[in-house]
Amino acid sequence: MLRKMHTDQFNVTIVSPRNYFLFTPLLPGTTTGTVESRSIMEPIRKYCKRSDASEVDFIEAECLSIDPVRKTVKCFDNSSVKGLVSEFELPYDQLVVGVGADNATFGIPGVRENACFMKEISDTRMIRDRIIDCLETAGYPGQPSAEIDRLLHFVIVGGGPSGVEITGELNDFIERDIKKHYPSHLADRVRITLVEALPHILTVFDKTIVEHVEKKLRSSPKTKVWTQTAVTSVKERELIVKDQDKVEKVIPYGVLVWATGNGPRLVTKGLMQSIGADQNVRRGLVVDEYFRVKGADGIWAIGDCSVTPYAATAQVASQQGRYLGRLFNDLSEDMYRSVKGKESLSDMDKFVHKQPLFKYHHMGTLAYVGDHNAVFELKSADGKSSSTTSEGLATFILWRSAYLSKCLSIRNRVLVAFDWVKASVFGRDVSRG
């Protein structure tokens, strides 16, 4: 949105707890070192200047609450280095909420305390460190056999694209790098289990692709796919699941990755409560066809924090941001007159409704499944028309090309491409820290 906006026509302030943009579709690859974390990060401040003139203010802070009546945003400094002032309020005329979503735990006890998530760069570093730590700890002299099996059991909960891609990346890491650097009595005992509560993984894909991916993952002797298996509790060293026959099982694990879906962040929940009756959907902010938050004046929401007919994916959020940037450009004069009291809310509403509606252009769904194989499906956004599907090495090349083209800058594209080449030629780094 920022890149599309004519920022010289607005006083723009960005508030974010991190001072970089993160290309989240490539996060699974950073857990094993296929891609370095810095390669998928781009500084926000790089886009705060236009033609060498500073047109955007950036504040590294986290939004604590939004007051839709007073039109203020309360923020606080959540960084490790704090000054004398750590909380402040910002007034706004127009507020765009794009805070994304939190990890959905479904109220299952022990998940937040013991599982690794897949939302931030810090999450991927934690997963990577734990994997290597488990391997090193399993090699301690005198380590009991049962404990070695526990340490070398990596569990991924969630059979969506993220969970499947993490599983594929882990398989590659074990087969191509762990086996090279660790003794066989350790590397040969590594196991991966993908747990999904639904009857199949990758439910967004066509049935033939789902069957292909399940067969592909199960063909590895180190990988198990458990469908119709629900997690009921997570402990420090084991998780409790129930299978389709309601039989309870205890699964010891060394690393547990939680990739089950999204839930609203605290600031989103707080805003929904403040607005009241118009916000009656638990999973996020209800918006109209122009992404205006219902029940609030001057608040817009895009991405995973909003409730729309579209999937919670990066390509949807990206297109929403570009659309809203163009919309603000077209409404800049009307917004200015509204702030100066020269236009009423009803007049502003009329001007908004004269603008074109958002049209989502679905570019297809891709997922990496390991061993230089990927799957692709292209169908209409409503899912009603016929679809095009593909799989295999050619699709893997398409997957890499598509992700590379969507990186934010040329710098990111060069770094990611170099990382892929480096990993292919020299292997992934197996050091910790």
pLDDT at 321 over 90: yes
CA–CA separation, 421 and 8 (whole Å): 41
- pLDDT tier for residue 168 given thresholds of 50, 70 and 90: very high
User: How much is the pLDDT for 99?
Assistant: 96
* Domain 7-102+263-353 and domain 111-262+363-426 have a common topology: yes
CA–CA separation, 112 and 152 (whole Å): 21
In the structure encoding, which two tokens stand for residue 317, read together?
A: 């959020």
Q: Which CATH number is 7-102+263-353's, of 3.40.50.150, 3.50.50.100, 1.10.3720.10, 3.40.50.300?
A: 3.50.50.100
The residue extents of the domains of the chain are 7-102+263-353, 111-262+363-426
- pLDDT tier for residue 381 given thresholds of 50, 70 and 90: low
Distances (CA, A) of 256 to 141, 167, 251, 399: 25, 12, 11, 26
- pLDDT tier for residue 254 given thresholds of 50, 70 and 90: very high
What is the average pLDDT value for the chain, to the nearest integer? Answer: 93
- pLDDT tier for residue 384 given thresholds of 50, 70 and 90: low
> In this predicted model, what pLDDT tens digit does every residue of 328-377 receive, in sequence order?
999 999 998 888 887 777 888 899 999 999 999 988 889 999 999 999 99
User: How much is the pLDDT for 340?
Assistant: 83
In the structure encoding, which two tokens stand for residue 315, read together?
A: 């390509």
pLDDT at 70 over 80: yes
DSSP 176: I
User: How much is the pLDDT for 37?
Assistant: 94
pLDDT at 186 over 70: yes
What's the pTM?
0.91
CA–CA separation, 205 and 367 (whole Å): 10
* Mean pLDDT of all residues in 380-409: 82
For residue 72, list its beta bridge partners. 67, 91
User: How much is the pLDDT for 214?
Assistant: 92
* Mean pLDDT of all residues in 274-292: 94
pLDDT at 268 over 90: yes
User: How much is the pLDDT for 271?
Assistant: 97
Percent of the chain topping pLDDT 70: 97
> In this predicted model, what pLDDT tens digit does every residue of 190-217 receive, in sequence order?
999 999 999 999 988 888 889 989 999 9
In the chain, how many H helices and how many E strands?
13, 25
Domain covering 111-262+363-426: architecture = 3-Layer(bba) Sandwich (3.50)
User: How much is the pLDDT for 116?
Assistant: 96
Of the two residues 384 and 65, the one the predictor is more confident about is 65
In the structure encoding, which two tokens stand for residue 97, read together?
A: 């909420």
- pLDDT tier for residue 433 given thresholds of 50, 70 and 90: low
